[in-house]
Chains A and B, each alone.
Chain A
Amino acid sequence: MQTKTSMLSGPIIRNAVKEAFMKLDPRVMFRNPILFVVEIGFIITLFLCFFPGAFQGSTPAWFNIVVAAILLVTLLFANFAEALAEGRGKAQADSLKQTKKDIVANKWVGGEIKQVASTDLRKGDIVVISQGEMIPGDGEVIEGLASVDESAITGESAPVIKEAGGDFSSVTGGTRVISDQIKVRITSDPGESFLDRMISLVEGAKRQKTPNEIALNTVLISLTLIFLIVVVTLPFFGDYLNIEIDVPVLIALLVCLIPTTIGGLLSAIGIAGMDRVTRFNVIAMSGKAVEAAGDINTIILDKTGTITYGNRMASEFIPVGGAKQIEVGEWAAISSMKDETPEGRSVLDLMKKLELGYNESSASGGEFIEFKAETRMSGIDLSDGRKVRKGAVDAIKRWVAAQNGIMPTDLDVAADKVASAGGTPLAVAVDNRIYGVIYLKDTVKPGMRERFDQMRQMGIKTVMCTGDNPLTAATIAREAGVDDFIAESKPEDKIAVIRREQAEGKLVAMTGDGTNDAPALAQADVGIAMNSGTVAAKEAANMVDLDSDPSKIIEVVAIGKQLLMTRGALTTFSISNDIAKYFAILPAMFMLAIPEMNTLNVMQLGSPMSAILSALIFNAIIIPLLIPLAMKGVAYKAVSSAQLLKRNLFIYGLGGVIVPFAGIKLIDLVIHLWV
């Protein structure tokens, strides 16, 4: 579903502002220890606003008020970031919920139709859905064929065909039947349907912290505790030296040092990462799956539909029996003029590409003969009585033989050549004469080669699975630039490959849609099921691609990496900031007692109070400034890890050291006008 809501749309922002205040509740805050420390600091400073003399304080009340206000704003900014990310998910969930209105279902009970509410349907119930009606729940078509509008879920407006049996039998609740009638067996109880799961996922209700997020959180909490020790022991050090250090100043130092930037943005980064996947029309069942995608070592791809178009395209006309190439093309084109199949259209495309002309008028008045499974050929009966056919080589041979035609001796040679190169030969004949063979080739999608090159640079190995013979498979593999292929593969082979790779410690991703893919999807570390696929496949996978585009797995990998990178970059930035903050606050703290400390005031900040306030303000406003980055993710390029690290260390590490020096100085220039 293409979410049309932009990040800055009014209602989302208004809601996020409201949420930012709601989240000040200490019970909510407690879940984020870094921000909880800030909140405690805020409460203490708030107290000092009214009783500035408490704890032997010497800072004026107005200073305490300003510090308290900045702390409050810091908290609100951090909450706002999280609320904004959640809000985007919620907006999506709301639009989904609208499709989840109560639907009246036609329940099939012992040969009779009974009308019940969709919420009363249980697993195993059978319902009948006719043209124009909503499908009341997830299920499997057991009878009939219908075209279904799934745009509510997928955003794709073209209807899809659902029929009993096979890989296109699963239907989703909330979608609409637009033609015909089907009988569906419901496969989920209320509240457990695909739609329900999707809503709870995008709402973030089920969002659990991923292992990596937990690991990072522990490090951040540890840093917070270290700085807590530093700041709490500092007044004792000061006391020994007869230096009074005021509580609001200590709190300001603590808040500046603890990683509030990343602490405030961490959950927003996680939510936004999930959201990016969702915007990509992929539903991830957990954040863990998205992160695992970033770690993938091997991707198993089906050839058909993923690497190649699957439908075969004419790529060459091979004349036989002394015919000329132009003749083969001409008759092939004439036979295809009214042929709407991809193969037929590709013949006309090839004519254009080869710049061959033919007499289009000769087909006028002719009668088009459609392709039939029995005849395995199609063509046209021209008005002058001649019959033109193209089709499977043996079918054409039989057809020509029936008219006492001659078999050109080089026909089999040409056909074999095409077949051994991985293509499909189509013979072209007019009455009793065979003119030649159309080489139908499985075409690799444009840009695949570049993508696989990129993946190789990212350290990801690609394995192509195909039912083709080894020769064909090798040709396509070479053309597409995949690292490895499995020919004549059966569903078991995929599992075997996945197990083999996993035994070597690799993480494997794969896409699939059929029921026979389900075990492999479950075995893979990242399994992406196509929405068009069967219920079993979707259940087994940890992501579902609503557009049913198997090549999307590549983007999902990039999103997973981007998610981790954004976390890493902002953590580095946050910690690097501390250096400048030290140089702002420490001299300010001690300058009154030790005037020589001015040597450390490298930024030449106006006054101790303006220095402290500037550092604190910088610390607060950096959060909203980084929200867009947290939401969008840092730029990811498919280059080697060393290059990526160099780049990110330079931007976020070195940048993190320098930016606050400039930022604090600038803020101080303004603040110093008053303080």
Chain B
Amino acid sequence: MAGMIAIVVTLLLVLLLARPTGLYMAKAYDYNPSGLDRVYGPLEKLIYAIGGIHQENQTWKRYAATLVISNSVMILLVYLVFRTQAYLPLNPAGIANMDPSLAFNTAISFMTNTNLQHYSGESGLSYLSQMIAIVFMMFTAPATALAAVFAFMRGLAGKPLGNFFVDMTRAITRVLLPIAFVTALIFIAQGVPQTLEPAAVAQTIQGGEQTIARGPMGSFLSIKELGNNGGGFMGVNSAHPFENPNAISNLIQILLMMLLTTSLPFAYGKMVGNAKQGRVLFVSMAMLFIVLLGVSLTAENAGNPALNAMGIQHEQGSMEGKEVRFGVAQSSLYSVVTTASETGAVNAMHDTLTPIGGMITIANMMLNTAFGGVGAGFMNVLMYAIIGVFLSGLMVGRTPEFLGKKIEGKEMKLIAVTMLVSPFLILVPTAIALFSYPDTLSNPGFHGLTQAMYEFTSSAANNGSGFEGLGDNTLFWNITTGIVMFLGRYFSIVALLAVAGSLAAKKTVPETTGTFRTDTGLFAIVFLAAVLIVGALTFFPSLVLGPIAEQLTLKP
């Protein structure tokens, strides 16, 4: 019961923070002069001056090209840091250079907001790499996505898309840095280490020696959660007592993961000048989220039917792989939040969730619409909204319109191709892995299948959490997931920016009583149906062979 109250309180706090944050972001991204310019203007002007950035509007092509090229340059820079970290300063533990395929994977992983980690932070990265490579990307990756989603929303609102560099700068100066700075202090106050000292060496009572890893973790942790990055400083991520010391740090982490992504619908409502448009999407996503959370909690609380059948005391629910500090409720909530927001941080091992609990995490990533990752998730949501509008427009006998713009062949072609990306990036590589590299999976049977599928789903959705137990630091996994993360990220961003560019150029059709409205409860149903039908129909067979078969066959 106490567990449930804690969950309800957490979700109410999320709800409370979403709207003001959204309105703040809409203001932060408004190109018209505002009071915020007085606060951030001087710093931003300095950045523009150093970067030689002219603050002019870009076409969608230019915007998209700037985005992809600047991100690629950052991938290259970070790759070089990983490959030479042994020779660079701030490496008290004397950590060696990363090998090429792992560096390739890791650089893409952090630039794409995925944070899939085929290494363990404490033994694979120097403090310098953690700070100037990993944390650097933990800021620029969500900033890129925020820039993209605001450009997309501007396009839908019929405005010019804006300037990528300005949008990215604003994301960092006005949103990510201030919030991350304050929350880092809170985390440190809660006991998260923030130090450049090497690992501590402690003498155990038996006289043995224990190395206790530590580092500049407070500053790492806040942006890890806020930016929906999710990559752990430590290998076990937020299950580690330093990376998640207590209930308060756990609560703040959950709030941070949800903060930006739940606020975007409100920012959207503000930008298109109709708050209801955003509210409808928020409510739809929240309903999806609550249903998924409910199923997960039920499954985790019910525990393993095989153990129950054997008469083993199991009242706490399924505790395998969970921290006793957090228990079933908080672990289940965290697992749903981290996959719904495409963060990928974990406070329990997803590999040992019950089959259905595990299925919820994977389904969250497949749908990528129960809020989804910062920016990218909401773009995906708007894509489904357009699909929903297209079908319902047909059903009421009008060429479909979304926000007064006609949805025609050109946009639907782009969206049709984007729809294909996620099934392709998840199912095809999983089939290859299962067929060609079955030995890298630690479990045979249904669970092994889920492991492989989880890894690619997590990569394609830019989530980054893992169903551990996978021998993932191999050439095959590093290269394939690297490619999947890259395509999963940039293909849809570019395609959807093209949609925005095409819509922005269209004349606005006036709204009449014959127009199908997209700010009503009816539209929420249409939207959810579009998400579930496309998502569920695509992944149902693979889920049947993975977690569903596993659950059905659990026997003592």
Q: Is residue B210 contacting chain A, with contact meaning CB distance below 8 A?
A: no
Q: Is the CB of B395 within 8 A of A590?
A: no
Let me know if A218 and B393 touch, CB within 8 A: no
Among the interface residues A211, A222, A652, which one has the most CB atoms of the partner chain B within 10 A? A222
Instruction: Report whether B542 and A459 are in contact in the complex, using a CB–CB cutoff of 8 Å.
Output: no
A582 close to B449 (CB less than 8 A): no
Query: Considering the chains assembled together, what is the distance between the CA atoms of A638 and B419 in angstroms?
Result: 34
Q: Does B208 contact A (CB under 8 A)?
A: no
List B520-556 residues whose CB lies under 8 Å from chain A. 520, 522, 525-526, 529, 533-534, 537-538, 540-542, 544-545, 548-549, 552-553
- Residues 140-159 of A, flagged 1 when their CB comes within 8 A of B and 0 if not, give 00000000000000000000
Contact call A596/B549, Cβ cutoff below 8 A:
yes
| Contact yes or no, B522 A460, CB < 8 A | no
Q: Residue of A at shortest CB range from B513?
A: A459
The segment out of A46-54, A324-332, A342-350, A572-580 that lies at the interface is A572-580
Stretch touching chain A among B21-29, B231-239, B429-437, B490-498: B429-437
Contact present for B394 and A568 (CB under 8 Å) = yes
Which listed residue (A212, A505, A649) contacts B508, Cβ 8 A? A505
B94 within 8 A of A: no
Known contacts A237-B449, A594-B552; is A504 also within 8 Å of B510 by CB?
yes
Q: How far is the CA of A563 from the CA of B399 in the complex (A)?
A: 11
Chain A residues in 8 Å Cβ range of B541: 230, 234, 237, 582, 586
A40 at the interface (CB under 8 A from B): no
For B508, the chain A residues whose CB sits under 8 A away are 505
> How distant is B195 from chain A, measured CB to nearest CB, in Å?
46
Q: How far is the CB of A633 from chain B (nearest CB, A)?
A: 10
In the complex, the answer to whether B391 meets A568 with C-beta atoms within 8 Å is yes
Contact B545 A238 (CB under 8 A): yes
User: Which of the 9-residue segments A83-91, A93-101, A311-319, A639-647 touches chain B?
Assistant: A639-647
Interface centre among A238, A243, A645 (most CB of B within 10 A): A645
CA distance A279 to B533 in the complex (A): 38
Write the chain B residue with the least CB distance to A582: B540
The yes or no answer to B387 lying at the interface (CB within 8 A) is yes
Decide: B416 and A642 in contact? CB cutoff 8 A: no
Chain B residues lying within 8 Å of A237, measured Cβ to Cβ, are: 430-431, 434, 449, 541-542, 545
A649 partner, pick from B395, B533, B553, beta carbons under 8 A: B395
B4 contacts the other chain (CB 8 A)? no
B314 at the interface (CB under 8 A from A): no
Q: Which of A218, A456, A564 contacts B394 (CB 8 A)?
A: A564
CA distance A301 to B537 in the complex (A): 48
B474-516 at interface with A (beta carbon < 8 Å): 507-510, 512-516
A257-B537 in contact (CB<8A): yes
CB distance from A288 to the nearest CB of B (A): 11
Query: Do A211 and B408 touch (CB < 8 A)?
Result: yes
| Chain A proximity of B469: nearest CB distance (Å) | 15
Q: Which of B395, B412, B507 has the most CB of A within 10 A?
A: B395
Closest Cβ of chain A to B452, distance in Å, is 8
Q: For A218, what are the chain B residues with a Cβ–Cβ distance below 8 Å? A: 409, 412-413, 416
Please give the distance in Å from B211's CB to the nearest CB on chain A.
39
A311–B409 CA distance with the chains assembled, in angstroms: 47
Q: Which of B370-389 contact A (CB under 8 A)?
A: 387
A623 CB to closest chain B CB (Å) equals: 19
- With A and B bound together, what is the CA distance between A458 and B553 in angstroms? 55
Q: A218-B413, A590-B544, A590-B545 are in contact. Are A565 and B395 (CB under 8 A)?
A: yes
Give which listed residue, B412, B428, B507, B529, contacts A219 with CB less than 8 A.
Answer: B412
Expressed in whole angstroms, the Cα–Cα distance for A229 and B446 within the complex equals: 20
| Residue numbers in B under 8 Å from A504 (CB-CB) | 510
Per the bound structure, the CA–CA distance linking A505 and B401 in Å amounts to 12
Cβ distance A579 to chain B, nearest Cβ, rounded Å: 8
Cβ-defined partner of A597 (8 Å) among B390, B513, B549: B549
How many angstroms from the CA of A460 to the CA of B513 in the assembled complex? 8
Q: Does B424 contact A (CB under 8 A)?
A: yes
- Report the separation of the CA atoms of residues A560 and B397 in the bound assembly, to the nearest whole angstrom: 7
Interface SS of chain A: helix, strand, loop or mixed?
Answer: helix
CB distance from B517 to the nearest CB of A (A): 7
Q: Does B470 contact A (CB under 8 A)?
A: no
Nearest neighbor of B397 in chain A, beta-carbon distance: A561
Stretch of A289-297, A365-373, A434-442 with 4 or more beta carbons under 8 angstroms from chain B = A289-297
- Taking the closest CB of chain B, its distance from the CB of A114, in whole angstroms, is 52
Chain A residue contacts of B394, Cβ below 8 A: 212, 216, 564-565, 567-569, 571
Task: Kindly state whether residue B417 has any CB partner on chain A within 8 Å.
Answer: yes
Contact pick for B397, options A229, A294, A457, A461, CB 8 Å: A294
Say yes or no: is A240 at the interface (Cβ < 8 Å to chain B). yes
Task: Fill in one digit per residue for B146-163: 1 if any A CB lies within 8 Å of its CB, else 0.
Answer: 000000000000000000
Q: Known: A211-B409, A233-B430. Contact between A572 and B395, CB under 8 A?
A: yes
Query: Is residue A226 contacting chain B, with contact meaning CB distance below 8 A?
Result: yes
Tell whether, in the assembled complex, residue B430 and residue A229 are in contact, meaning their CB atoms are under 8 Å apart.
Answer: no
Closest to B422 in A: A226
A215 to B389, CA, bound (A): 13
The answer to whether the Cβ of A214 comes within 8 Å of any Cβ in the partner chain is yes
Q: B549 contacts A590, CB within 8 Å?
A: yes
B522 partner residues in chain A, CB cutoff 8 A: 642, 645-646
Q: Does A506 contact B (CB under 8 A)?
A: yes
| Chain A residues closer than 8 Å to B507, beta-carbon distance | 505
CA distance A662 to B173 in the complex (A): 59
Question: Is A241 positioned at the interface, with any CB of B under 8 Å from its CB?
Answer: yes
Q: How far is the CA of A576 from the CA of B514 in the complex (A)?
A: 25
A215: contacting residue among B412, B449, B526, CB under 8 A = B412
B77 at the interface (CB under 8 A from A): no
Give the chain A neighbours of B417 by CB distance below 8 A: 222
Contact of B552 among A223, A229, A572, A597 (CB under 8 A): A597
Q: Is B9 an interface residue (CB 8 A)?
A: no
Write out the residue numbers on chain A whose beta carbons fall within 8 Å of the beta carbon of B544. Answer: 586, 590, 597, 600
Question: Are A295 and B399 closer than 8 Å at their CB atoms?
Answer: yes
- Given A214-B409, A215-B390, A576-B533: A229 in contact with B428 (beta carbons within 8 A): yes
Q: How far is B427's CA from A75's CA once the two chains are assembled, in angstroms?
A: 29
Q: Chain A's nearest CB lies how many Å from the CB of B439?
A: 11
- Chain B residue at minimal CB-CB distance from A212: B399
| Chain B residues near A212 (CB-CB < 8 A) | 394, 399, 408-409
Among residues of A, the one whose C-beta sits closest to the C-beta of B414 is A218
A534 interfacial by beta-carbon distance below 8 Å: no
Contact of A239 among B435, B515, B520 (CB under 8 A): B435
Residue pair B395, A457 in contact (C-beta under 8 Å): no
Question: Are A565 and B549 CB-contacts (below 8 A) given A225-B420, A237-B449, A576-B533?
Answer: no
A219, A227, A459: the one within 8 Å of B515 (CB): A459
A568-B391, A636-B397, A649-B395 are contacts. A642–B520 as well, Cβ < 8 Å? yes
Question: CB distance A460 to B512 under 8 Å?
Answer: yes
| Residue ID in chain A nearest B508 by CB atoms | A505
Residues of B within 8 A of A6 (CB): none
A562 to B387, CA, bound (A): 20
Contact B553 A596 (CB under 8 A): yes
Question: CA separation between A240 and B431, bound complex, in Å?
Answer: 9
How distant is the Cα of A506 from the Cα of B511 in the complex, in angstroms?
10
User: Judging by beta carbons under 8 Å apart, are B408 and A215 in contact?
Assistant: yes
Instruction: Give 20 A-B pairs besides A219-B412, A459-B512, A649-B395 with Cβ atoms closer than 8 angstroms.
Output: A211-B399, A216-B394, A218-B409, A222-B420, A226-B420, A226-B423, A229-B424, A236-B431, A237-B545, A240-B434, A240-B448, A241-B449, A294-B398, A294-B399, A297-B509, A564-B399, A572-B391, A596-B549, A641-B398, A645-B395
12 sampled A-B residue pairs with Cβ under 8 A = A215-B411, A216-B412, A237-B541, A238-B545, A568-B393, A575-B537, A582-B540, A582-B541, A594-B553, A644-B396, A645-B396, A646-B522
Closest 5 CB pairs of A and B: A459-B514, A568-B394, A561-B397, A459-B512, A222-B416
By a beta-carbon cutoff of 8 Å, the part of chain A in contact with chain B is: 211-212, 214-216, 218-219, 221-223, 225-227, 229-230, 232-234, 236-241, 243, 257, 291, 294-295, 297, 456-461, 504-506, 560-565, 567-569, 571-572, 575-576, 578-579, 582, 586, 590, 594, 596-597, 599-600, 636, 640-642, 644-646, 648-649, 652-653
